Every structure is written in structure tokens, then in C-alpha cells.
Structure 1
Amino acid sequence: MTVKREEGRREEGLFMKIESHRDLTVWQKSMDMVVQVYQLSTSFPNTEIYRLTSQITRAAASVPANIAEGHARGTTKNDFAHFLSIAKGSLMETETFLMLAVRLNYLNPEQANPTLSLITEISKMITSLRYRILNTP
């Protein structure tokens, strides 16, 4: 589990205790991705406000929200893993909507590629975190 050093954390042996979802790098990068998606969606036509714009921003915002909710529940490993699966699904929705925006010529590939790369990175992080949660005693 990769974490950035921030206040509110304490070290315990070789591992650091994650006290908040805000300590998770995957949550931090997901928040960055949401901001990028919101910024990109401002170039969509007004006719898309209640369609693609709404869908892509909701899907993007759902990623860090589900990571946070899964971590906050703290009931079982399976619960957190379940919320990470939901986050990954929302991430793939976001990727799909972003690729659709390129196909519809609302964005050019050069605009979308940095966010698509970040989505790929976040996807790998979610997969890795979920695996570690489910396979750590």
C-alpha cells in the first residue's frame, strides 16, 4: 500500500498505520483525476450538460468517494475490497466516457491522454490494493 507522508499518521514497526483514506495515494490520485475530468468537461457542448458531462463527472467523482467509503467503514476486508471494486467500475466508466468524448470530437487525443494515463495508473493501484487487502492475514 503506497502512502504519502502527511500529518495525522504514526509509524508502527515497518508498516505505517493508515488513519484516513486521505493517506492513500490511490485516493489522492483519484481526486486529481476528478479535477482533470471536470476541467476537460468544460469544453463539451452545452447540449451535453445533462448527458455526457453529467455522466462523466459523476463516474469520476464516484472513484475517490468509494475508496473513502470503503476505508471508512472499516468493518471487514471484504467490505473494503467490495468498495474498491465499485471504484474500479466507476473508473472504467470514466475512461469510456472520456474516450467517447474524443470520438465525438469534444476533446482531441492530446487533451485526453494525460487523464487516460492517470486512469490507467489508478486502475493498477486499485487492483494492487484490493489484492493486498484480500491476501494479507
Structure 2
Amino acid sequence: MRTGTSESIRLRWHASTGARLARVGATRVTSFRDLEVWRLSMDLARRVYGATASMPWPHRTELGGQMRRASVSTPSNIAEGFRQGSLRAYLRHVRIAAGSAAELETKAELASDLNLWPEVEGTEIRAMAARTGRMLTGLALALEDRAGRP
């Protein structure tokens, strides 16, 4: 099984209920809230909301608004995909979430380059977005393995 993180992820369908069950390492995952990547992306969204509030006008509504939307898109797609009921849909949403994390990372770098917020804020947000992206890549690889794709 390929993974991009140190933990293995195993998914299976519960035979009697049809509910998706997953194991991440030794932890049973029954909700998207159990996923560390979802919790991290929620923390990231909260952090982005706080950081963009201090951006100067009009950057707060333009670039800041795009950053807020990308940050919210990440955990939202993880949750939506988890609840879709098919491995293929889950994988598609995880890939969309990874794209949103990369978008946020890029926009955070631009905000730092334009001195729209303190450099430490930009550095920490970019690091959180990059870590989220790596975790989502690992999850996508595990889901691809489960789906039987190369």
C-alpha cells in the first residue's frame, strides 16, 4: 500500500449497513471528524480567517476573500467526499481538497510577497497548507490503492 504519510489508511465497507469504515493506523475512523487531515484543515481555515481580517483594504476582500474560500473548501471537500458513499467520489473530493490547499499555499505566498500581513503569519499558514496537502496526497494514494489503481 502506498502512502504519503507515516500512517496507513485502510477502508472497507461494513457488510450489513453499507457504512464506510476506515482504519488510520490503529484508530477506527467512522466520521470525517476523526481524520487528522480534516482537523488540521479546519485549524488552517480558522487561522486564515484571523490573518486575512488584518489585511489592508481592498486586499482583505479580494485576495483575502479568495484565501478564505480556498481554506474553507479544503475541509468541506474532505467531509463531503467522506459522506458520498463511494470510494471514487471520496477520492475525487480528496483531490479537490488537495487542489484547494495548493491554491491557498500559493495565495499565502503572494500575500507575503506583497507584505499584506506579518511574515511569520504567512510562513505558518504556508507550512500548514503544505502539510495539509501532503496528508491529502497520502490519503489519495491510499484511496487509489484501495480502488485498485496503479
TM-score per shorter chain, which class? 0.7 to 0.9
Runs (4+) of structure 1 exceeding 3 A deviation are 14-17
Query: For residues 83 and 115 of structure 2, what CA distance do their matches in structure 1 show?
Result: 39
| Residue ranges of structure 1 left out of the alignment (5+ in a row) | 4-9
Structure richer in strand, relative to its length? 2
Structure with a larger share of its residues in helix? 1
- Deviation track 1:24-82 (CA, whole Å, cap 9, x = no partner) reads 0000000000011111101211212431111110011000000000001122x221111
Instruction: Please report how far the alpha carbon of residue 123 of structure 1 lies from its aligned counterpart in structure 2 after TM superposition.
Output: 1.0
Q: Choose the corresponding residue for 1:19, options 30, 45, 50.
A: 30
Question: Equivalent of 2:84, from 68, 73, 90?
Answer: 73
Query: Match for 2:107: what amino acid?
Result: F
TM-score (norm 2): 0.77
| Preserved contact between residue 48 and residue 68 of structure 2 (Cα < 8 Å) | yes
Contact 2:22 2:29 (C-alpha < 8 Å) held by counterparts? no
For 2:58, which of 47, 61, 66 is the aligned residue?
A: 47
Under a length normalisation based on structure 1, what TM-score does the superposition of the two structures give? 0.84
Distance in 1 (alpha carbons) for counterparts of 2:113 and 2:83: 38
For 2:83, give the aligned amino acid: A
**Aligned AA for 1:122?**
T
CA RMSD of aligned residues (A): 2.3
Structure with the larger RCO, 1 or 2 (CA within 8 Å, 6+ apart): 2
